[in-house]
Chains A and B, each alone.
Chain A
Amino acid sequence: MKLTLWTYEGPPHVGAMRVATGMKGMHYVLHAPQGDTYADLLFTMIERRNHRPPVTFTTFQARDLGGDTANLFKDSARDAYDRFQPQAMIVGASCTAELIQDDPGGLAEALGLPIPVIPLDLPSYQRKENFGADETFYQIVKALAQPMPRTEAITCNLLGATALGFRHRDDVTEVTRLLSLMGISVNVAAPMGATPDDIARMGQAHFNVLLYPETGEAAARHLERACGQPYTKIVPIGVGATRDFLHEVSALTGLSAKVDESGLRLPWWSASVDSTYLTGKRVYIFGDATHVTTAARIAATEIGFEVVGMGCFNREFARPLRAAAKAYGVEPLITDDYLEVEAEIARLQPELILGTQMERHIGKRLGIPCAVISAPVHVQDFPARYSPQMGFEGANVIFDSWIHPLVMGLEEHLLTMFREDFEFHDEAGASHHGGKAVPRQEEELPTYVVPAGQDLSAPLDRYAAMIPDIPIITPSGEVVWLPDAERELKKIPFFVRGKAKRNTERYATDRGLFEISVDTLYEAKAHYAR
């Protein structure tokens, strides 16, 4: 039993729904109680889909238990076939149905429907959403795709895009464009956008592009074995990764990796002098392993940030993430407990977070700007405009969306110079963000002082200590801020205040000081000046 407040991933059958909902002509009959239909709103509200997910829930009730839940399942499957006439069907159980052991696969087979019916066995009490999507896609491909003669021209399949994925819609378009620059066309993009009939002709592609290892790797491995199709290992997020990806494709196909890069702006945007202020900004990165590792490379080598920490919530990909973290000399955090992530961010005091919607909220609470780079998603992660993450246009989009939460370069200087100005003070926020600039608050804000002896590294303690909306002063050790020093600290612009505070405390602790005066503050500043 594990106490969970917020989760990064849903149950595995939600992963299966992401596959079914992304596809066309596929129907999912899910043995589940009525409340599980909440999952429909993920697609209709968050992703703004204009169709219901192609999912029939049996919605059994207590009175059905022990009686005819099996018949209920059969009726539901038969009715769903009659009504929706899908080309193929997947059947399975949610967590509750798993316990009543009705065997949806066997029941559906007994119906003798004239279409392929693919049973799913998703262990709800062990695995999660990404596994569910990966396994479902794999089972569908295994059941429907066959070895076939290759297409005459060089083609590939794009694997792993699903409904409710982070920018999957636009990534598929962007990678399709990118490959067409090399003269390669897409045979099938799946699961999103594909029908079961499309899956059946996947075998004619020359190779596979694995867009999202989290949701497509099992299928890629299967196709490599069953259809002899190699697959790409590099995920083309970022300029360097996109170029590496093109070379990888070139090695597989013999086609030239030299493509038109005239639409690529990130390198110059990053090199132009306005971006100087980005140098060495401390970023913390958290999300799914694939997006985190690609983001770390962009942050460190293409924008010039300093990666101060990184982690992922999907244990399945802990190994590649650990390897990447090593390259940046940071300790990886592999956890699906957001309280641990929050504690880590509070400890590191980065200047920018690249994370999920969960980290966006952590950032809000800690006063640290955040750009979203990975699922779990929210309605804002489905913009109306074209905004891929992959390929050259993806790199442009990433530059803009990571820089946006920060205060602009010149503004940063002005705020520092005129920080005593009552209107142009730092609490007014960045000028390009919405919201009204508030005059500086002169009185003291309430603060919550963590009781001495409380172990802040244990996330649950941290949780206990938190009172909403009240900034937390965490005395590191026994160091106390003298009133003058504290006032001086507040004059430091908010986007560097956290760092200044942390450095000063560390400086004081290292020297065995118990009090921080204004002098200590400036001595620390001189000490850490870069």
Chain B
Amino acid sequence: MSLDLPSDGCRSTPVLKERGQREVFCGLTGIIWLHRKMQDAFFLVVGSRTCAHLLQSAAGVMIFAEPRFGTAILEEKDLAGLADANAELDREVGRLLARRPDIRQLFLVGSCPSEVIKLDLARAAERLNQQHAPHVRVYNYSGSGIETTFTQGEDACLAAMVPTLAPTAARDLLIVGAMPDVVEDQCLALLSAMGIGPIRVLPAHRAGELPHVGENTVFALVQPFLGDTHAALIRRGARHIPAPFPFGEEGSTAWLRAIADEFGVPRDLFESVIAAPRARAQKAIAAQAAELRGKSVFFFPDSQLEIPLARFLVRECGMTAIEVGTPYLHEGLVGPDLDLLPKGPVISEGQDVEKQLDRVRAASPDLTVCGLGLANPLEAEGFATKWAIELVFTPVHFYEQAGDLAGLFSRPLRRKAILRKEAAE
């Protein structure tokens, strides 16, 4: 299948690079979904009360049930002497692991304060690994706001695991990126039906199921924000299968197709496997797209999903993109999506929130995709908004979710229309 490329995609569009006040989460936020995905892992943030409060606020109270994450809050005396801070950390970890024997993987997560005081969590992880091996494997990564934005936390986490994965010479397919279980199962079912295997996933549910990696491993990413993980896998000799990301019918087909081609899946087998789910996706999208067609959309930078999602909204739902903001643009990863996204929108990287708000007001789009801090204020100004965090917390990948994905964008518009009618009466 040759994808129907626009004569002129956005790959060559000059990127508007902004440096100013950002209105985004830091990488710690990824813990909210990662700790649910990895069922024998505990995420220990070494940080401040702010970090603890961020996690609590981002998590909401819905998952108040026993969290497998916590914050070791630095106190005045920890700042005074690093030796003491290390001793304290060892003690807290010891207590935690003694009391939670179900924990087999422990992530020490760095924060802005731990980085500014130069608390060496890599050394700490090494030290703790020696103490607690083989029962617990200790990793470390940074989720700090001075280093990472929102979804980059997942990237940093997965990248930290790659060097420790056991070597293999097998020609495995590795699927990389945390997905809700139901979506992961669908993805694996489709690929298996094409005769592709063995398939491994990173992150795995449990330490014992971690994938192996080596020169013959080929991998595909399901999330566009996994730049460091991509680089770490390449360093292990694995090879990346570039593809548009599996959002919407077209994205899912292109993504599966890239893998099928890599594994030499016959054309008719491929078509027969995807035919039914693909038709369902088209039908489901069409129902939602009726409300989206001809409408304009403006993306504030948030999760790095913006470019693939803009591609979906423009090509499959008939919307016009005015600006597509992203915190970081990994051309190597979103290049295939940029190729498909027709020229027109401003592509911006980074943020200067006040200027961007000026632009959104000037453009007055039909739908604005933004973070939670901006959504209600923009609604109050008359804009319809979609909060971006839901795109990360909701199953949106692959065929069966394509209609839901479109629905996430059409619902705010539909709602606005209903309320407007009521107000007019």
Q: Is A511 interfacial (CB 8 A cutoff)? A: no
Report the bound CA distance from A49 to B372 in whole Å: 12
Given contact pairs A10-B53, A50-B379, A52-B373, A3 touches B48 in the complex (Cβ within 8 A)? no
Q: Write the A22-51 contact mask toward B (1 if CB under 8 angstroms, else 0).
A: 000000000001111111111011001111
**Interface stretch of the complex, out of B72-80, B334-342, B360-368:** B72-80
A99/B50 in contact, CB under 8 A: no
Given contact pairs A3-B92, A50-B377, A125-B76, A34 touches B71 in the complex (Cβ within 8 A)? no
State how many angstroms separate the Cβ of A327 from the closest Cβ of chain B: 32
A2-B72, A3-B72, A79-B354 known; 11 other A-B pairs, CB under 8 Å? A1-B46, A6-B52, A33-B145, A65-B116, A65-B146, A95-B112, A96-B112, A99-B113, A99-B117, A124-B49, A463-B99
State how many angstroms separate the Cβ of A340 from the closest Cβ of chain B: 15
A44 cross-chain contacts in B, Cβ below 8 A: 372-377
State how many angstroms separate the Cβ of A62 from the closest Cβ of chain B: 4
- Sort chain B's interface into a size bin: 35 or more
Q: Is B54 interfacial (CB 8 A cutoff)? A: yes
B113/A95 in contact, CB under 8 A: yes
Q: Is A11 interfacial (CB 8 A cutoff)? A: yes
B92/A36 in contact, CB under 8 A: no
**Interface stretch of the complex, out of A53-61, A107-115, A285-293:** A53-61
Q: Is B58 interfacial (CB 8 A cutoff)? A: yes
Q: Is A378 interfacial (CB 8 A cutoff)? A: yes
Task: Give the most central of B53, B74, B96: most A CB within 10 Å.
Answer: B53
Given contact pairs A59-B22, A96-B146, A99-B116, A35 touches B88 in the complex (Cβ within 8 A)? no
The 4 A-B pairs at the shortest CB distance, nearest first, are namely A35-B26, A35-B145, A40-B373, A50-B380
Q: Is A204 interfacial (CB 8 A cutoff)? A: no
B26/A124 in contact, CB under 8 A: no
Complex: chain B residue closest to A44, CB-CB: B376
B166 cross-chain contacts in A, Cβ below 8 A: none
Q: Is A468 interfacial (CB 8 A cutoff)? A: yes
**Interface stretch of the complex, out of B61-69, B262-270, B303-311:** B61-69
A361/B64 in contact, CB under 8 A: yes
Complex: chain B residue closest to A14, CB-CB: B53
B99 cross-chain contacts in A, Cβ below 8 A: 460-461, 463-464
Task: Give the most central of B57, B91, B145: most A CB within 10 Å.
Answer: B145
Report the bound CA distance from A62 to B375 in whole Å: 28
A37/B53 in contact, CB under 8 A: no
Report the bound CA distance from A79 to B354 in whole Å: 10
Task: Give the most central of A3, A35, A124, A464: most B CB within 10 Å.
Answer: A35
B100/A464 in contact, CB under 8 A: yes
Q: Is B225 interfacial (CB 8 A cutoff)? A: no
Q: Is B144 interfacial (CB 8 A cutoff)? A: yes
A464 cross-chain contacts in B, Cβ below 8 A: 99-100
State how many angstroms separate the Cβ of A319 from the closest Cβ of chain B: 23
Given contact pairs A45-B376, A463-B99, A3 touches B24 in the complex (Cβ within 8 A)? no
Complex: chain B residue closest to A38, CB-CB: B54
Report the bound CA distance from A39 to B113 in whole Å: 17
A99/B380 in contact, CB under 8 A: no
Task: Give the most central of B91, B96, B112, B376: most A CB within 10 Å.
Answer: B112
Which of A56, A62, A461 touches B21 (beta carbons < 8 Å)? A56
Q: Write the B381-416 contact mask toward A (1 if CB under 8 angstroms, else 0).
A: 000000000000000000000000000000000000
A1/B75 in contact, CB under 8 A: yes
B61/A11 in contact, CB under 8 A: no
17 contacts between A and B (CB under 8 A): A1-B78, A1-B89, A3-B70, A6-B64, A7-B53, A11-B48, A33-B26, A35-B54, A36-B26, A40-B372, A79-B354, A96-B48, A96-B116, A126-B75, A128-B49, A358-B64, A464-B99
Q: Is B420 interfacial (CB 8 A cutoff)? A: no
B28/A35 in contact, CB under 8 A: yes
B70/A57 in contact, CB under 8 A: no
Given contact pairs A62-B146, A99-B113, A463-B66, A3 touches B71 in the complex (Cβ within 8 A)? yes
A35 cross-chain contacts in B, Cβ below 8 A: 24-29, 54, 112, 144-145
Q: Is B85 interfacial (CB 8 A cutoff)? A: yes
Given contact pairs A35-B28, A41-B372, A65-B116, A5 touches B23 in the complex (Cβ within 8 A)? no
Report the bound CA distance from A483 to B91 in whole Å: 43
Q: Is A229 interfacial (CB 8 A cutoff)? A: no
Report the bound CA distance from A128 to B73 in whole Å: 12
A124/B73 in contact, CB under 8 A: no
Report the bound CA distance from A504 to B100 in whole Å: 32
B50/A10 in contact, CB under 8 A: yes
A374 cross-chain contacts in B, Cβ below 8 A: none
B146/A5 in contact, CB under 8 A: no
A125/B146 in contact, CB under 8 A: no
A49 cross-chain contacts in B, Cβ below 8 A: 376-377
Complex: chain B residue closest to A99, CB-CB: B116
Report the bound CA distance from A415 to B56 in whole Å: 39
Q: Is A387 interfacial (CB 8 A cutoff)? A: no
A4/B113 in contact, CB under 8 A: no
Given contact pairs A40-B373, A51-B377, A378 touches B26 in the complex (Cβ within 8 A)? no
State how many angstroms separate the Cβ of A55 from the closest Cβ of chain B: 10
B24/A34 in contact, CB under 8 A: yes
Given contact pairs A1-B72, A38-B57, A378-B61, A466 touches B66 in the complex (Cβ within 8 A)? yes
A45/B79 in contact, CB under 8 A: no
B71/A38 in contact, CB under 8 A: no
B374 cross-chain contacts in A, Cβ below 8 A: 40, 44, 52
A11/B53 in contact, CB under 8 A: yes
Q: Is B215 interfacial (CB 8 A cutoff)? A: no
Q: Is A100 interfacial (CB 8 A cutoff)? A: yes
B25/A1 in contact, CB under 8 A: no
B75 cross-chain contacts in A, Cβ below 8 A: 1-2, 125-126
Complex: chain B residue closest to A378, CB-CB: B61
State how many angstroms separate the Cβ of A268 from the closest Cβ of chain B: 36
Report the bound CA distance from A460 to B96 in whole Å: 9
B112/A125 in contact, CB under 8 A: no
Which of B53, B96, B372, B380 touches A51 (beta carbons < 8 Å)? B380
A42 cross-chain contacts in B, Cβ below 8 A: 57
Q: Is B147 interfacial (CB 8 A cutoff)? A: yes
B288 cross-chain contacts in A, Cβ below 8 A: none
State how many angstroms separate the Cβ of B150 from the closest Cβ of chain A: 8
Report the bound CA distance from A44 to B21 in whole Å: 18
Q: Is A162 interfacial (CB 8 A cutoff)? A: no
Report the bound CA distance from A11 to B112 in whole Å: 15
Q: Is B252 interfacial (CB 8 A cutoff)? A: no
B217 cross-chain contacts in A, Cβ below 8 A: none
Report the bound CA distance from A344 to B43 in whole Å: 27
Given contact pairs A95-B49, A124-B50, A7 touches B147 in the complex (Cβ within 8 A)? no
Which of A56, A83, A99, A468 touches B65 (beta carbons < 8 Å)? A468
Q: Is B326 interfacial (CB 8 A cutoff)? A: no
Q: Write the A349-389 contact mask toward B (1 if CB under 8 angstroms, else 0).
A: 00000000110010001000000000000100000000000
Q: Write the B136-148 contact mask toward A (1 if CB under 8 angstroms, else 0).
A: 0000000011110
Q: Is A155 interfacial (CB 8 A cutoff)? A: no
B58 cross-chain contacts in A, Cβ below 8 A: 38
A52 cross-chain contacts in B, Cβ below 8 A: 373-374, 377
B61/A34 in contact, CB under 8 A: no
Q: Is A208 interfacial (CB 8 A cutoff)? A: no
Complex: chain A residue closest to B372, CB-CB: A41
